[in-house]
Structure 1
Amino acid sequence: MSHKFSGGCDHIKTHSEHDPIDNHTCHCSVCKSVTGQATTHVAFFNHADVAVDNEAGLKRQPFNANNPDGPLELCTCGECGTPIMLNDKQNRIRAIVPNLMGYDAGFPAASYHAFFDPAAGVAKPDDGREVFEGLQPSFVWPEGS
């Protein structure tokens, strides 16, 4: 069956029929540390909008090593180690990094830059998308459960 968005690995598949509620290029130090990328394309979905076909096969670890009790956990495949998603333990969001989590190149482009720190010593992005020091001001975290 075809889905609007789908990813994962050979052992665990994820999909959504809904658009992301936020879609940005992240400049934060945690994303840089976890992904090894200078910037990371991150899409937030409402938690219930991302289905996982084999949650029991996920290995869960803290997303932020400096905040191991924080709400986000990195979920990887317990068999092959592929990153599958970021899960919010408060059930607000699930986050996808399209280029690392098995999503195709047709995934919608990020609409803005988030967590840009001018003190980091890198040039401010000049690709025409807005740049913020956090998430875009209009973003509201969904209710959790």
Structure 2
Amino acid sequence: MADHKYQGGCAHVTVYADAEPIDNHECHCNVCKSVTNQQTTHVVFFNHAELKASDESNMKRVPFNAANPDGPLEICLCKDCDAVLMLDDRQKRIRVAVPNIMGYNPAPPAASYHAFWDPSKGYPKPDDGRPVYDGLRPDFVWPPGA
């Protein structure tokens, strides 16, 4: 039984949120494809302070985007087992969960739309009834950083 509304992580570090996500999409970007080896990735954004880890001192950080290692997102890994725990924003705007990779149980709800779909990638446009955008949903507003 989970202690939190949404919970993931590994045997060494629990990552959790009791707040609702601020964004929840199926990502089609090339960086997610290269990091996850998935055609699309269910990505969930939380306000930075609302996705927490039980032991941040037991996390090592690596760049999320190998082509832009100084970019804002870092992948947080468990120092003990190398489990992927979360993405952390150096600007302290968001923290990101990928439920199927980060062991979420309970998991956030299914993605509400498709983000970063690009017709030049050579596969059909999603037709599952959810909106499809070439970026984040038009009404998404980045939270202020710290």
TM-score range with shorter-chain normalisation?
Answer: over 0.9
Residues 99, 107 of structure 2: 8 Å contact kept: no
- C-alpha displacement of 1:105: 6.2
In 1, distance between residues paired with 2:62 and 2:108? 26
Q: Which residue of 2 aligns with 1:61?
A: 62
In 1, distance between residues paired with 2:36 and 2:79? 18
Question: If the length of structure 2 is used for normalisation, what is the TM-score?
Answer: 0.97
Q: Which residue of 1 aligns with 2:115?
A: 114
Report how many aligned residue pairs link the two structures.
145
Q: Which residue of 1 aligns with 2:26?
A: 25
- C-alpha displacement of 1:103: 0.3
The one-letter code matched in structure 1 to 2:46 is F
Residues 7, 107 of structure 2: 8 Å contact kept: no
Q: Which residue of 2 aligns with 1:129?
A: 130
Structure 1 residue ranges, 4+ long, deviating more than 3 angstroms after superposition: none
In 2, distance between residues paired with 1:20 and 1:105? 13
In 2, distance between residues paired with 1:98 and 1:88? 17
Note the 1:6-85 alignment, pairs <5 A: 6-85=7-86
Unaligned 5+ residue runs, structure 2? none
Question: If the length of structure 1 is used for normalisation, what is the TM-score?
Answer: 0.97
The one-letter code matched in structure 2 to 1:73 is E
Residues 99, 105 of structure 1: 8 Å contact kept: no
- C-alpha displacement of 1:102: 1.2
The one-letter code matched in structure 2 to 1:37 is Q
